[in-house]
Amino acid sequence: MTLIKSISGIRGTIGGTVGDNLTPIDAVKFASAYGTWLKAQYKKDDYRVVVGRDARISGEMIQNLVMNTLVGLGIHVIDLGLSTTPTVEIAVPLEHADGGIILTASHNPKEWNALKLLNNKGEFLNGVEGAKILAIAESDSMHFADVDSLGKITVNDAYIDMHIDAVLDLKLVNKSAIEKANFKVVVDGVNSTGGIAIPLLLERLGVEPIKLYCDPTGHFPHNPEPLKEHLTDLSEAVVKERADFGIVVDPDVDRLAFMDEKGEMFGEEYTLVACADYVLSKTPGNTVSNMSSTRALRDITEKHGGTYEASAVGEVNVVELMKKNNAIIGGEGNGGIIYPESHYGRDALVGVALFLSLLAEKKMSVSELRASYPSYFMSKKKIALTPQLDVDAILKAMEAKYSNERVTTVDGVKIDFNDSWVHLRKSNTEPIIRVYTEAPSQEAADALAKKVIAEIEAVANN
């Protein structure tokens, strides 16, 4: 079964059996439930929803199904076509819309797609709201509009340019310093919409983009999750072109990672660390990331006199805690930058502009910048779920085993040791248990992960 209903939306593989995969019937069902929920939220005569998609092969099909379902509910649709997740998030309030839907499975392979659901602020729905939509979908209580009350579809393909305009207008984006630096950057757009948006942004900033996999065909040239093992072509291109660094984004452009001038990963965990360092140096304050993210953000925040807090995994959880703590910047260690001066959503375009500003002002190489930060190393492993695995029982057993350590159970089980940590949780986006560890060396992080996975397997086999 590869249909996942979670805080991150409705996600599944294309084709197969209704109810087990993201089939056309499932897409219509959940779009209907979302539209029905939205109409119950806001009692009015005129409803508007912004819809955009990444470049997945199935994207046009799913988008047409979703948009015309909304039309059938009497909801007007603003069709952004090929877009990015942060672009849709920005468009919702600008269009005075009641919500938004992004058709993307983010970092998942090409056979996956998803409906990511937004509220009228352009922010992801919370768990309570998501549960209500799932309940509506299961109840089949949707009521559709009569022929004189159908919605209409309006196409607007200007929003990527408008998004870039908004990024360039941010006070902390130092356009003049970036232009003077004469950067040359290789961009891996994984043949999705980042291949459109990121080079356009770089050109507007006076940076020379060298395009790698920037044709938005949806045929991903490698696993689209921006991890080191998937980015050998980018590494080689950066060195060959003698570029200042490399940029890679995921298919919907809310995750961002950098490659240094030597073809080595800057570390997706350090995307947020670097951007936060720059922002906090100009506007001191607090930060938030999720509890699967590096301790380096805490260190940088405290260096600038701020306070760091960790939330449960999931963008909506990070945003909620950021608002509560008045965080200046936050995000997730997977390369997701949330900068409230722009909007409360992970945004690779904002991250690129802040990173370039930092680099231009510091006048150092990317490898030198990375060496200036506290050095932690992470291991990110996964255990495939089977029907026989009782995840809750496994997590309870691990909690009990390490009860003498600092254990947090807000989201799965996180065990903090003096110089390392491990976080175990069931994924919101894949049928797996995630096993994340961090330690002072890669060897120590890998060894901790290996040890914990062996312990989990021992529990599962008992």
Please give the backbone phi and psi of residue 128, each rounded to the nearest 5 degrees, phi first.
-65, -45
Could you give the CA distance from residue 56 to residue 288 in angstroms, rounded to a whole number? 31
The packing angle between helices 348-362 and 269-282, to 10°, is 60
Q: Give the confidence band of 1 by pLDDT, cuts at 50, 70, 90.
A: very low
Among 364, 362, 360, residue whose Cα is nearest residue 181? 360
Identify the active-site residue in 8, 32, 58, 106: 106
- Strand-pairing partners, residue 311, are 290
Catalytic residue check, 58: no
Predicted local confidence at residue 244, as pLDDT = 98
- Strand-pairing partners, residue 155, are 79
Q: What is the mean pLDDT of the chain?
A: 95
Please give the backbone phi and psi of residue 241, each rounded to the nearest 5 degrees, phi first.
-85, -5
Give the residue carrying structure tokens 């979670």: 6
Q: What is the DSSP letter of 247?
A: E
CA-CA-CA-CA torsion for 366, 371, 372, 378, nearest 10 degrees? 100
Predicted local confidence at residue 341, as pLDDT = 98
Over the stretch 106-136, which tens digit does the pLDDT of each residue have? 999 999 999 999 999 999 999 899 999 999 9
Q: Listing from the earlier edge strand, what are the strands of the sheet with 184-188? A: 208-212, 184-188, 245-249, 256-259
Predicted local confidence at residue 227, as pLDDT = 83
Could you give the CA distance from residue 49 to residue 119 in angstroms, rounded to a whole number? 9
- Residues 243-252 have a mean pLDDT of 98
CB 231 within 8 A of CB 259: yes
Over the stretch 249-289, which tens digit does the pLDDT of each residue have? 999 999 999 999 999 999 999 999 999 999 999 999 999 99
Could you give the CA distance from residue 142 to residue 144 in angstroms, rounded to a whole number? 7
Instruction: Report in angstroms the alpha-carbon separations of 41 from 6, 34, 38, 137, 439.
Output: 20, 10, 5, 16, 46
- Residues 421-439 have a mean pLDDT of 89
CATH superfamily label, 162-371? Alpha-D-Glucose-1,6-Bisphosphate, subunit A, domain 3 (3.40.120.10)
Residue range(s) of every CATH 3.30.310.50 domain in the chain: 377-461
Residue 172 has pLDDT above 70, yes or no: yes
Residue 414 tokens, joined: 């996180």
CATH superfamily label, 3-157? Alpha-D-Glucose-1,6-Bisphosphate, subunit A, domain 3 (3.40.120.10)
Residue 333 tokens, joined: 């260690």
Q: Calculate what percentage of the chain has a pLDDT beyond 70.
A: 99
Predicted local confidence at residue 7, as pLDDT = 63
Over the stretch 400-411, which tens digit does the pLDDT of each residue have? 999 999 999 999
CB 337 within 8 A of CB 329: yes
Best mean pLDDT range from 8-12, 138-142, 351-355, 424-428: 351-355
Class of domain 377-461: alpha beta
Over the stretch 319-374, which tens digit does the pLDDT of each residue have? 999 999 999 999 998 899 999 999 999 999 999 999 999 999 999 999 999 999 99
Among 315, 304, 299, 308, residue whose Cα is nearest residue 347? 315
* Cα 237 → chain centroid: 25
Q: What is the pTM of this model?
A: 0.93
Please give the backbone phi and psi of residue 414, each rounded to the nearest 5 degrees, phi first.
-115, 130
* Amino acid type, 255: R
- Residues 372-394 have a mean pLDDT of 89
Residues 149, 54, 411, 340, CA torsion sign: negative
Q: Give the confidence band of 78 by pLDDT, cuts at 50, 70, 90.
A: very high
Best mean pLDDT range from 6-20, 160-174, 223-237, 414-428: 160-174
Residue range(s) of every CATH 3.40.120.10 domain in the chain: 3-157, 162-371
DSSP string for residues in 382-432: EEE--TT--HHHHHHHHHHHTTTSEEE-SSSEEEE-SS-EEEEEE-SSSSE
Q: Give the confidence band of 140 by pLDDT, cuts at 50, 70, 90.
A: confident
